Each structure stands twice: as structure tokens, then as C-alpha cells.
Amino acid sequence: MSLEIKVPAVGESITEVTIGQWFKKDGDYVEMDEVICELESDKATFELTAEAAGVLTTKAGEGDTLEIGAVICEINTDGQAGAEIEKSDEDRDKPKESKSNGGGATGEVKEMIVPTVGESITEVTLANWLKADGDYVELDEIIAEVDSDKATFELPAEANGILRHVAQEGDTLEIGGLICKIEVTEGGAPASSESSSDAASSAKSDSSSSSDKETYATGHASPAAAKILAEKGLDPKDVKGTGKDGRITKEDAEKAEKPAPKPAAKPAESKKEEKVEAAPKVAGSRDSRREKMTSLRKTVSRRLVAVKNETAMLTTFNEVNMGPIMELRKKFKDQFKEKHGVNLGFMSFFTKAVCVALQEWPAVNAQIDGNEIVYNDFCDISIAVSAPKGLVVPVIRNAEAMSFEQIEKEVVRLATKARDNKLSIEEMTGGTFTLTNGGIFGSMMSTPIINAPQSAILGMHNIVERPMAVNGEVKILPMMYLALSYDHRIIDGRESVSFLVRVKQLLEDPTRLLFGV
């Protein structure tokens, strides 16, 4: 019986693919689910697996472009016996050894889809594979990391078996989309996986050794590479390919540059003068690189622009003498850490101060919802943290009811999780007011952007000693500029200025925080 293998659908907008390379030759015997060739689209590279065991008959060659649904090869399922006869005694013994040395395939293939990671999240980006294609994975072992527009999640294996990648790093997948397959095995890692990896490595060495040979693929660009070369206005003939048999890959196209125009010939007598006038050659790298924006970075960018366009944002400034807080910290920081196991920082003072001021000026703690204003009796304070993948804003819930110790511990916990990309969606949603501290990076003054749908954000800056007039005398004091950005649609000037003055008052006399006055 002859089974036709057709080009599968690999994406909604993809209508054709190109055969990158055949891993199996015409006439070879292939196993079910064995990777037989590599297909390239203008977006990604995919692997094509055998749908049955038998003898392979190819219908298209490397470099051919086929439409979705076209026949790419046939598998003669009755040709198994003939193929076995052609194998050497050594080759026939290998499957037996692999079965006796380890677990065997059950024939079941587990398809893993993108799980639901939050109510408002409809798609994720595959950040990186932690397990390579063809690796043996165990149940619940972490195999990949996926990014959403809010957080990073780990993807655990749903069965024991051999991992087969379907999506590539950087691909954006919808919730429920197929991300990988697992060829289920029993009895532990199959010994054949080692021989597979050896075969794969030998195949790579064969392809690298044959890259110098002139074949049909030499100088031929993949669809993605051809698109990039067309945009740059380059001829594939001027680009050297590093792929198999000299094939031009996407990376080759991205690195390719237009050749410098040849200088016009000059008379022989002017050659000496030309050497004198030639520009000096300066040694140094002029490399550049492109990186795809993460989902988090794209979402932050979109929201910040939306806030600028959709709110009547205004910023008011004030300055605060940080001397009293610094003296208080210096006096009690050792006792505080010894008793509570955490440092006494500035953030707890600012959090307590804004909570008092927010309860006195509720409009600063409110938000607009359609044609209504929502006033909050609680203070959920968002803390802006610079994480490796972008800015995140975890929330301290009911900060108005927390002590200095509780606030400091919560700040440390959330900041640590943010830098390790371990924050959950629940820890980053909500919030009624935001604190951002640009001073830790050396910022003297800035105009922070509101964290929608909140109505205000307080920017803290670096502490600088400056001469100040105090009771008719000039004194050197540690001063900090405070910046309150607010939505003028809901917060009037009187409320914003009064709020900031109240925060200044509480910070310059922190004992007020203890007595609530």
C-alpha cells in the first residue's frame, strides 16, 4: 500500500513552503513519526514526519516550492520486508539492542497545546526551548518558557517520551495552539535516542562537510532569506550561503550588505596623489544586531502611548528634605534588621506617607470607568520594578493597614520575583496608585507616565546635597525632587498640589506617621 504525504497547513497566512533539506533519501526505509525533511516558510522552519513505516519515495527535491496540500512524497508500507533485507546484520541488531537497553515507544503521540494562563491573555510568545528537539523528557519536566504581555510562564511536559518541536523560538501562538508533540515511551529513556542523536550529529557533520560542494541548493535563498534580500535590494548571487550545500539562510540575508561600488579608474600619474588623499582606515567593530520585541515590551509600549493620548496628563513638582528620615534610619536600622530580618529602606516611608495622603485626598486614589468615577477606600500601591524583560509593576495590597516591617518584606519579595521573572498575573493586576524610584539609577528629575487605569503616579529621584535657606541661614541638606503626574480629568490642581504637600510634610517629619497626624 502506498501512502501519500502532503504538505501540512503550518499557519493561517502561509500558502506555500520550500523544501529546505531531505533527512532521508529516495528509497530509504523510514519509521513512523521519524523526521524525513525540513520545510521552510516565510515565517519559520518546520519538520515533516513520516505518517507510517515503509519505503520512502520523494516527489520533490530540495529547493522546490510547494503549495499547502501538495504531495511531497509517498511511503510504501508494504516495502518493509524488502528494506529489512537490504539492511546489514549490524543494522538489524540495533533496534533489538535499543529495546533491551531502555524503554520502548508505545506508538502514542501526546500533542501539547498552549494552556490558558489568564483571563485577558489570548496569545503568548515562545521565549526559549529548555529541551532540544529529539530530547527525552519526563512527566512534569520543564521543557520551555513562554512570554505573555504580563508575565513569563514555564511549560511542563505532559508525558514521558521523545520531544518534537512544532513551534520555534520567537513564534507567537494563540491559546490552545499546538506547541509540541511527545512520542510517549515506557520504561525510561530509550537507548535508541542516543543513536538518534549520534545519527543527527553525523548528519550535521555530513552537511557541513558537503557545504563546500556545488549543488542545486548552492546560492539558493530560503523564502525568508529571499524576502530580506529583496528588501535590501541584493542579488542572491552576491551573498555567500552558510547552509547545507551553500544554501542562503535567513541569518545570511540579515548579515548581508551591499558591496561597495568599485572606484573609477584614475590615470597612472594620479595614483601617488590618491594615496595621500585616501581616508584613513580606523579599526573597530561596526556590527549591529536586531532582536524581536518581547510580548511584555510591546504591551508596555502600546499602553504608555495610549496613556499619553487618552489622558489629560499633567505633572507637578516639589522637593523634600530627606535629612530627618536618614537620621531615623541611621539610628534604628541595625535594631530594625536584627528584630525583623529585613533592611529599613526609604520605600516603607514613602508608601506609608502616600497612603495617609491618599485617604485625605481620595480623588488621587480614584479612577475613571466610562462615565463614572470609582473611589477606593483601600490603598493598593504599585511598585515599578525594572526586570530583565522590561518594566513590571507588582502591587502591595492594602498597604494602608501594613506596618513598616510588612511593607519592607513585601517590597523585597515582589522585587525578587520580578527580577527572576516569577511574578504571577494576580501579583501585577489592580493597584490604585504607583510609586516609581528613578533615583536608584541617578535620575534628578523626571515626569513619570501614569500607570493606567490609575489616575496618578509619584516619581522619586536621587538625593543630592544642596545649599538651602533655613530660618535665615544657609544649610547643606540632602534634598530630593518629587514629581506627581496625574490625570487632570479627575484630579484638580488644588488636590494634586495639596496631596504632594501633605506627602512632603509627612516625610520631613516622619514621627507624624507614627501618630497619624
197: pLDDT strictly greater than 70: no
What Cα–Cα distance (Å) separates residue 73 from each residue in 56, 60, 197, 467?
A: 7, 7, 25, 82
Domains of the chain, with CATH numbers? Answer: 1-87 (2.40.50.100), 104-205 (2.40.50.100), 213-255 (4.10.320.10), 312-515 (3.30.559.10)
What Cα–Cα distance (Å) separates residue 216 from each residue in 67, 226, 236, 279?
A: 20, 16, 14, 42
pLDDT at 238 (0 to 100):
75
Instruction: Give all strands of the β-sheet with 104-113 in edge-to-edge order.
Output: 104-113, 178-186, 161-165, 136-137
Arithmetic mean of pLDDT, 348-373: 94
pLDDT at 92 (0 to 100):
44
- 101-158 tens-digit pLDDT: 455 677 788 899 988 877 667 888 888 889 999 899 998 889 998 888 777 788 899 9
184 — phi, psi (to 5°)? Answer: -65, 135
Q: What is the DSSP letter of 142?
A: E
Task: Name the pLDDT band for 368 (thresholds 50, 70, 90).
Answer: very high
Residue type, 322: M
In 428-503, which ranges are E strands? 433-437, 456-460, 464-470, 473-487
Cβ-based neighbours of 352, under 8 Å, separated by 6 or more: 399, 404, 407, 506, 513
Arithmetic mean of pLDDT, 182-186: 87
* 303, 307, 310, 312 alpha-carbon torsion, rounded to 10°: 180
Helix (H, G, I), strand (E, B) or coil at 492: coil
Nearest to 6 by CA among 397, 16, 438: 16
Name the more confident of 190 and 179. Answer: 179
Catalytic residue annotation: 488, 492
202: pLDDT strictly greater than 60: no
pLDDT at 91 (0 to 100):
47
H or E, element range at 178: strand 178-186
Q: Is the dihedral of CA 197, 199, 204, 205 positive or negative?
A: positive
The residue whose grid cell reads 536618614 is 326
Cβ-based neighbours of 177, under 8 Å, separated by 6 or more: 113, 114, 167
- The verdict on pTM exceeding 0.85 is no
- Please state, as a whole number, how many other Cβ atoms lie within 10 Å of the Cβ of residue 410: 22
